Amino acid sequence: MTKDVSRHTLIQSIILHLFPGIIMVMVDFLLVPLIMGYGVPNDLAYNADTVLALVPIQLGILLYVTKRNTGTYKIASQLPYLEKSSLKEYLIFIPLMAIWAIAVNDVLTPLEINFRDTVFTFIPTKYFIGNYDLSSFSNWKIILTSLVCLLLNGFTAPIMEEIYFRGYLLPRINLSQNKAILLNAALFSLYHFFTPWHFFSRLLMTIPLYYWVVKKRNIRFSIVAHIIANSVTSLSMLLYLS
C-alpha cells in the first residue's frame, strides 16, 4: 500500500537534513576535549552525540510531525518506504553494496586524507576521528570504546538515521525521483560536518543504495547496509588486540 505524503519546500528539506548535524558538531566540539581528558579514544565523544543530539532531535521531529498529522505517535504511518522484499533480494543486493563500498573506500581514502591534511588545517587534529595511536590506550579502554561504538554507531545511529533521512525526508523532497535521491545523498553526506573530507566517498557509496531503496520502496535495505558498514568500523579497533 502506498502512503501519500506532502512534499517539503527545498528550504525545508535542506534545513531538516542539516539541522541535526549542526547541533551534533556543536556537541562534538564540547565533548571531544572532555572525553580525551579521561585518556580514551575520541570516538567515544562522537558516539555520545548519538544519545545527546542525534536521537533526541531526529526522533523528536518524527514524533512531532506524526502527532501533528495523525494524532498518534505511530511513526510508521509517515514512512512510505516500508514495502516488503524477498530474502533473496537482501542476500544479493547487500553483498553487492558492501563490495561497492569497499572499492570506493579503497580508492578515495588516501585522497580524502590528503584533502583533510591540506584543506582542513584549521581544524585541530584532536577532532579527527581515529587520529591516535592505539598503543597509547590500555586494552580495557579499547574494548570499552569498541563496544560503545558498536551499540551506538553500529546499531542506534544507523537505524535512527535511515528512518529519518530515507524513511521520512527522502520521499518528501519536491524533485524528480533521481534528483531527490541525489539531493538526499548529498545533504546526508554534508550532514556529517565532523568529517567533511569524506563527503565524496559517502556520496558515491550511498547513491546506488538509495536508488534501490526508492525502487523497492523499502528502507530496510539501507538500514541493514548501514548497520553492517558501521558495525565493521566500530569493531575494527579490536583487531589491534588480536
Digit-coded pLDDT (tens) for 87-108 = 999 999 999 999 999 999 999 9
Please answer whether residues 197 and 113 qualify as being in contact, where contact means their C-beta atoms are separated by less than 8 angstroms.
yes
Model pLDDT, residue 140: 93
Nearest Cα to 14, choosing from 171, 184, 213, 157? 184
- Alpha helix segments (H runs only) across 134-191: 139-149, 157-161, 177-191
For the four alpha carbons of 218, 54, 51 and 69, in that order, the dihedral sign comes to negative
pLDDT at position 1: 40
Structural contact between residues 20 and 58, judged by C-beta atoms closer than 8 angstroms: yes
Q: Residue 224 corresponds to which amino acid?
A: V
pLDDT, residue 237, reads: 85
User: 52, 50, 83, 78: which is closest to 63 by C-alpha?
Assistant: 78
Angle at 158 between CA 180 and CA 197, to 5 degrees: 70
Q: What would the grid cell of residue 158 be? A: 544507523
pLDDT reported for residue 161: 99
pLDDT at residue number 2: 47
Q: Closest by alpha carbon to 85, among 180, 238, 218?
A: 218
Mean pLDDT in order along the chain per 10 residues (242 residues)? 79 99 97 94 95 98 98 97 98 95 93 96 94 89 94 97 99 98 99 97 97 98 96 87 73
79 φψ region: left (φ > 0), alpha (ψ -120 to 50), beta (else): beta
pLDDT at 242: 66
pLDDT digits (tens, 9 = 90+) for 189-216: 999 999 999 999 999 999 999 999 999 9
pLDDT attached to residue 130: 87
pLDDT of residue 238: 85
